Homo-oligomer: A and B are copies of this chain.
Amino acid sequence: MRTVFHEQLDTLNENVADLCERTADMMRLATEALLYADLEASERVIDRRDDVDRLCAALEGDMFTLLARQAPVASDLRVVLSGMRNVADLQRMGALAAHVARITRRRHPEIAVPAEVCGYFAEMGRIAVQLALDTKSVVREGNPDIAARLNVDDEAMDKLHQRLFAVVMNPEWPHGTTAAVDVTLLSRYYERFADHAVEIAHKVIYRSTGARRD
Contacts and interface: CB of A to CB of B under 8 A. Distances in A.
Copies of this protein in the complex: 2
Interface in A132-181: 165, 168-169, 171, 173, 176-178, 180-181
Contacts of A171: 176-177
Given A168-B177, A180-B180, A188-B185, A64 B78 contact: yes
A55 interface: no
Interface of A: 64, 67-68, 71, 73-74, 77-78, 81, 84-85, 88, 165, 168-169, 171, 173, 176-178, 180-181, 184-185, 188
Interface residues of chain A: helix, strand, loop or mixed (majority): helix
Contacts of A165: 181
Contacts of A71: 71, 73
Given A64-B78, A184-B185, 14 more contacts: A64-B81, A67-B77, A68-B73, A68-B74, A84-B84, A165-B181, A168-B177, A168-B181, A169-B181, A171-B177, A173-B177, A176-B177, A180-B180, A188-B188
Contact of A181 (B68, B85, B180): B180
A88 B180 CA distance: 31
A71 B77 CA distance: 10
Contact of A84 (B81, B173, B180): B81
